[in-house]
């Protein structure tokens, strides 16, 4: 079907979310600032727009400005009426099953986060309350699988990667799947889709019929990175910080493929957490990998990390170039260490409670305004995990300026974000970001990248 075609259809869930309260329906229909309508519409459109090559949330919303979604309670349960929905989500007039399931996953998470979680925070510190909220969201989404040995591998990487890099991510996913590992990604295209696609073939060969392809997103990014069609467990976290924490609480090991500012943000998050003295003894295998053509990319990332955070931080990750089998073997060994550690400590396999994540540094949502970006403390005279958190926020702001609606509007209104700090540190950051732009890793389908930031050396 042509990407310009639209479909009107009515869909109902299968097996869950059969009923909603009148209060919930009113919240979903409420188009005011306090209602859930606009949030649900944006996330629903992202799911229906699966396979899109747009990564600018405003372009997506403008292309489908007539799209509408209406919620009603019928005699047989919930019904969603889709108006002017992307035709690519349908086959012979029927919504594709996986897309329908993900659509109702969005509904499930938006309602749960907005309606019930405030009841679970009493008596907890701010940090513990955030972690508890993440646990409840994951449990409500049935993402926590007790009594299964650690086997969920988080794969991070860019949505804007070249064909060779994409095929490499598929091969790594295939090797992981052959060894019985499941995949968790940010749910979008590129390096988020490839490992899942490879693992599906491997799981079929190994007759693994319950393979997990977990996609974790958040409302600010989902329109720019629509869920890929392989995701069979979609989870929408409230913000980017809870999304990042969900990855490291739910997953057992991390593989990083080539990417841009968003991937670097993820790297800085996990390194910042692991560099906290309280987490030094907790095993978490982290592997950077790509094809031979990506060797220079990872050399620049490795150099940036060493220059900004110090040589010692390199002990928390490994770099494997051009060898998917070795990546899978090393990850399997790492997961065995995770299993032994959690068994020895009496820790759960399904949720990493042991990790200590600082509220101020890594859990408190960062609003990438011009003022907040300019005030980031990008200086070396601070603990290394604190500097990692500050750099993570800088990258988060750049991601917002590239693809998120609010960030793009702020850049249009006030110009690029201003970043300043130690001269040597800022040169390293500038060099890294320039390399991302030169390699076309910042955005999809642009003739020439216009930076949303300005770095003061």
Q: Quote the Cα angle for 25-26-29, to 5°.
A: 85
Q: What is the pLDDT of residue 2?
A: 45
For residue 117, give the DSSP letter: G
So where are the chain's domains?
6-115, 135-457
Query: What CATH number does domain 135-457 carry, 3.40.50.450, 3.40.50.1820, 3.40.190.10, 3.10.20.740?
Result: 3.40.50.450
Q: Quote the Cα angle for 15-18-23, to 5°.
A: 150
Helices (H) and strands (E) in the chain, counts: 16, 14
Q: What is the pLDDT of residue 28?
A: 85
Q: Could you read off the pLDDT tens digit of each residue along the chain, which spans 457 residues?
A: 445 688 899 888 876 666 777 788 888 888 888 788 888 998 999 899 887 666 666 777 788 889 999 888 776 567 889 999 999 899 998 999 999 999 999 988 988 876 555 555 666 788 999 999 999 999 999 999 998 999 999 999 998 899 999 999 999 999 999 999 999 999 989 999 999 999 999 999 999 999 999 999 998 888 778 899 899 999 999 999 999 999 999 999 999 999 999 999 999 999 999 999 999 999 999 999 999 999 999 999 999 999 999 999 999 999 999 999 999 999 999 999 999 999 999 999 999 999 999 999 999 999 999 999 999 999 999 999 999 999 999 999 999 998 888 888 999 999 999 999 999 999 999 999 999 988 888 876 666 788 999 998 6
Q: Which residues of 338-352 are buried (b: 16+ CB within 10 A; e: fewer)?
A: bbebbeeeeeebbbb
Q: What is the pLDDT of residue 81?
A: 92
Q: What is the pLDDT of residue 443?
A: 74
| Cα separation, 93 vs 122, whole angstroms | 48
Q: Quote the Cα angle for 396-198-172, to 5°.
A: 65
Q: What is the pLDDT of residue 122?
A: 64
| Cα separation, 377 vs 399, whole angstroms | 19
Q: What is the pLDDT of residue 1?
A: 44
Q: What is the pLDDT of residue 60?
A: 78
Closest CA to 366 of 321, 337, 397, 344: 397
- Kindly report the length of the chain: 457
For the domain bounded by 6-115, which CATH number is listed?
3.30.1850.10
Q: What is the pLDDT of residue 18?
A: 61
| Cα separation, 456 vs 421, whole angstroms | 7
Residue 456's DSSP bridge partners are 420
For residue 227, give the DSSP letter: P
């Amino acid at each position: 079907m042509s990407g310009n075609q639209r479909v009107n259809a009515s869909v109902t869930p299968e097996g869950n979310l059969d009923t909603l309260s009148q209060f919930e329906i009113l919240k979903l229909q409420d188009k005011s600032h306090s209602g859930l309508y606009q949030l649900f519409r944006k996330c629903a459109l992202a799911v229906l727009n699966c396979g899109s090559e747009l990564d600018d949330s405003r372009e997506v919303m403008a292309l489908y400005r007539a799209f509408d979604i209406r919620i009603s309670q019928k005699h047989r349960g919930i019904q969603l009426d889709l108006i002017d929905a992307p035709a690519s989500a349908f086959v012979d007039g029927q919504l594709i099953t996986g897309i329908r399931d993900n659509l109702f996953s969005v509904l499930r998470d938006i309602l749960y986060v907005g309606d019930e979680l405030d009841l679970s925070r009493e008596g907890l510190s701010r940090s513990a309350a955030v972690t508890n909220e993440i646990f409840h969201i994951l449990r409500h989404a049935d993402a926590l699988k007790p009594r299964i040995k650690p086997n969920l591998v988080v794969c991070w990487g860019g949505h804007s990667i070249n064909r060779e890099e994409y095929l490499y991510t598929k091969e790594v996913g295939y090797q992981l799947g052959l060894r019985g590992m499941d995949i968790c990604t940010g749910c979008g295209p590129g390096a988020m889709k490839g490992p899942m696609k490879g693992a599906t073939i491997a799981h079929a060969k190994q007759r693994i019929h319950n393979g997990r392809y977990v996609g974790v997103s958040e409302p600010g990014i989902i329109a720019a990175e629509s869920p890929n069609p392989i995701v069979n467990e979609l989870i929408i976290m409230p913000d980017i910080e809870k999304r990042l924490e969900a990855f490291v609480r739910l997953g057992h090991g991390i593989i990083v493929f080539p990417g841009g500012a968003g991937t670097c943000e993820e790297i800085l998050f996990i390194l910042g957490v692991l560099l906290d003295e309280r987490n030094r003894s907790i095993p978490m295998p982290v592997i950077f990998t790509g094809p031979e053509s990506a060797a220079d990319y990872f050399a620049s990332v490795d150099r940036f990390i060493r220059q900004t955070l110090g040589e010692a931080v390199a002990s928390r990750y490994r770099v494997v170039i051009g060898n998917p089998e070795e990546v899978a073997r090393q990850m399997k060994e790492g997961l065995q260490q995770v299993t032994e550690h959690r068994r020895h400590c009496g820790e759960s396999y399904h949720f990493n409670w042991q990790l200590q994540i600082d509220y101020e540094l890594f859990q408190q949502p960062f609003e990438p305004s011009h003022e907040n970006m300019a005030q980031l403390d990008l200086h070396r005279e601070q603990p290394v995990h604190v500097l990692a958190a500050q750099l993570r926020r800088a990258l988060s702001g750049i991601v917002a300026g590239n693809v998120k609606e609010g960030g793009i509007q702020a850049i249009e209104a006030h110009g690029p974000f201003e970043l300043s700090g130690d001269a040597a540190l800022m040169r390293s950051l500038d060099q890294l970001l320039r390399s991302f732009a030169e390699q076309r890793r910042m955005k999809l389908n642009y003739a020439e990248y216009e930076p949303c930031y300005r770095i003061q050396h």
